[in-house]
Structure 1
Amino acid sequence: MSHERIEVSPRIMDGKPVVRGTRIPVELVLRKLGAGMSPEAILADHPRLTRDDIQAAQAFAADYLADEDIVYG
């Protein structure tokens, strides 16, 4: 899975996925969306982000979860 707008580096935020060129974790973007914030509100809070960055964070999370093993118990 290749995500040009998402970066994972042990030197940035202890290796958490972030929006490339920022220290804004994908997790933060997803939590804000999950809490009901609109993309416009997130962009107002984080002016370095773009709408494409928010969509990239969502796509990254979806791809990450798609590769998870399913455990039936």
Structure 2
Amino acid sequence: MEKLKYYVESQAFGVCSHLGEKFKINTNSIRLYFIYTSFLTMGSPIIIYLVLAFWMNIRRYLRERNHPSVWDI
């Protein structure tokens, strides 16, 4: 079960786990929040999820560009 959870989280941008670590909230409760609110509001939290995923990828890209590794030089 842990392998499946790791695979899904790595393929789904890691937004829920990042939010859980940042706010010290259980990751499963954040995932359930996204699922329940998606059903209640016809999918609008999915847009928020995708914006957060995009933002996290941009931040990682900018961080790597400002601090290149030894192999990139």
Same-fold status (TM-score > 0.5): no
Judging by fraction of residues, say which structure has more helix.
2
- The normalised TM-score by structure 1 is 0.36
Q: Which has the larger radius of gyration?
A: 2
- The normalised TM-score by structure 2 is 0.36
Judging by fraction of residues, say which structure has more strand.
1
**Could you say which structure has the greater relative contact order, defined with CA pairs below 8 angstroms and 6 or more residues apart?**
1
